[in-house]
Structure 1
């Protein structure tokens, strides 16, 4: 069965001539002994597909009687450790962990909930939900319910339940009808009917949404983004705008987030790690192209100037090249 986490636009592909046994042994040697051979660890973990890394993890466990994750944590530190550990997690489990962390403790990191739930397909979200349940013994929906509120919660739950249509069917008539519903729910009335926005933006497939945005623009001479900005506020506004961005161009959405993460004083390493890992087999090639358009320089050079050491080396390998 083809994985819903892999596409031809990723920078990381199946490694040719792969041997899980050989890689597990090389990792054991790299980690054992005094000091770690970071280059070997980086070369293996950034250059194997997720499916291959799951085989390495199994092989390592049976050959060494130890968990590769624990050994990496024991031997590495800081951002580099977090990146290497993230790279050996199956994608759905990595997203589940990120979501859990975003909701833990006081205050919820809404921007992370928004980033993941707005950008993943329904099939991916179903796998994340299963992973979440397996690891935490609770449903993702229950945690979202207890950590968020109001219309924002309602929209997140629509998304977390994987209710978006994942097909590529589009219908011109429906687009016009939806555009009218959105206009009547926002611009046309006093007060906003948020439910209508949530229903359409959280349930229609991305192709259908693009048609709807075009219809909206031609019927009302306004971009849907403008209407959302003037009619809706707070976290719900941020979520709906993120959905619009992802529907229009998912790689551009991630390029913008990466740009924010490295621009200005201080680098947001958590965001950098999260996006580089989660998109490396999906659409990082497209994200690189969008990044260059947005920033005027390559993602590769941004990583070069904003990070250092083994963390930098590993990210550059994931990035896959200069544009």
Structure 2
């Protein structure tokens, strides 16, 4: 996987897996649990380093670190720490598996992951899913979804988006006109046209298409999607458009709504903070401050509590003044 430079969590300098394992065992041994060192270690080590700590823990004590965390911690802080211990390459496959497992489908998770990941990341998710669950991700998703929503998911699962390259201005014009005709100028909507263009064109091409669309229509493509589609297809198309414009801004908005109003969507909060902590959480923080006039740190501080809050704040990595 590519090394990203905009994460809040990086490889810990002078890392010692054995010393970390010993500290964690001491924190969980005997009566009561000392949460402080657990939070401190697991939020300041990279995912690869956490995996080394888990190996050292088993080697030294013959115990499974994740099992011990589950038995010593409870509630949201347990979910957060166990999520941090999941190997990075497995995280998305595991989240998708749980989104389509059992009665009902968690479309929010499908939309978020498939709209925001690169073609290379989607290919890896499919391989890992096959390896872990001995099942085809596309088969599982298609058996749980239907209609144009299913078709858009299948297009994204092909990971066939064009790579970024020189922009063909005449194709930009053509795609913008076709999207306009498929929505605003048509009685009903040609959903297929939206699916093909939004699901297969390169990111840099689509940004130009959105600008051209604004010139032709006099309003943003998001407004057309809002008017011309509905339900999960609308949510997925909007997620794709937002991610084309800016993945960090998309995640900043998701985090804002996860903490807005009564009750917090902790699953979304944990999933985004954990999965983006080594990739682009600094950019997400910047977008959050710009778009919502407050810092992500402040929002977490206000909407969470206890050790769960401490853990999230440590991963968040600081205030944006």
- TM-score > 0.5 by shorter chain: yes
Determine if the alignment matches structure 1 residue 147 to structure 2 residue 144: yes
Query: 2:162 & 2:24 partners in 1: Cα distance?
Result: 42
Determine if the alignment matches structure 1 residue 126 to structure 2 residue 111: no
Unmatched 5+ residue regions in structure 1? Answer: none
The two structures have a TM-score, normalised by structure 2, of 0.95
2:164 and 2:205 in contact (8 A); partners too: no
SS across alignment from 2:103: coil
1:21 and 1:59 in contact (8 A); partners too: yes
Q: Please give the per-residue CA displacement for 1:264-316, whole angstroms capped at 9, x wherever unaligned.
A: 11111111111110111111111111111222221111111111111111100
- In the other structure, the counterpart of 2:75 is 78
Q: CA deviation at 1:248?
A: 0.6
Q: Which shifted more, 185-194 or 263-272?
A: 185-194
- In the other structure, the counterpart of 2:20 is 23
Correspondence 1:14-163 to 2 at 5 A? 14-163=11-160
Query: 2:277 & 2:40 partners in 1: Cα distance?
Result: 15
1:121 and 1:166 in contact (8 A); partners too: no
Could you say if the C-alpha distance between residues 11 and 185 of structure 1 is closer, same or farther in structure 2, counting changes exceeding 3 Å?
same
1:122 and 1:166 in contact (8 A); partners too: no
Query: 2:131 & 2:294 partners in 1: Cα distance?
Result: 42
Q: Which shifted more, 123-132 or 81-90?
A: 123-132
Q: CA deviation at 1:105?
A: 1.9
Q: Please give the per-residue CA displacement for 1:166-195, whole angstroms capped at 9, x wherever unaligned.
A: 445533332222112212222222222211
Q: Which shifted more, 28-37 or 256-265?
A: 28-37
Query: 2:233 & 2:117 partners in 1: Cα distance?
Result: 17
Determine if the alignment matches structure 1 residue 263 to structure 2 residue 260: yes
2:258 and 2:266 in contact (8 A); partners too: yes
1:15 and 1:47 in contact (8 A); partners too: yes
Q: CA deviation at 1:139?
A: 1.4
Could you say if the C-alpha distance between residues 322 and 46 of structure 1 is closer, same or farther in structure 2, counting changes exceeding 3 Å?
same
Query: 2:36 & 2:112 partners in 1: Cα distance?
Result: 31
Determine if the alignment matches structure 1 residue 219 to structure 2 residue 211: no
Q: Which shifted more, 81-90 or 175-184?
A: 175-184
Query: 2:170 & 2:60 partners in 1: Cα distance?
Result: 60
Query: 1:168 & 1:61 partners in 2: Cα distance?
Result: 48
Query: 2:32 & 2:122 partners in 1: Cα distance?
Result: 39
- In the other structure, the counterpart of 1:13 is 10
Q: CA deviation at 1:145?
A: 0.6
Query: 1:168 & 1:83 partners in 2: Cα distance?
Result: 39
Q: Which shifted more, 184-193 or 235-244?
A: 184-193
Residues paired across the two proteins, number: 320
Query: 1:45 & 1:74 partners in 2: Cα distance?
Result: 16
Determine if the alignment matches structure 1 residue 188 to structure 2 residue 185: yes
Please, which of 314, 318, 321 is the counterpart of residue 317 of structure 1? 314
Query: 1:131 & 1:202 partners in 2: Cα distance?
Result: 22
Unmatched 5+ residue regions in structure 2? Answer: none
Q: Which shifted more, 171-180 or 110-119?
A: 171-180
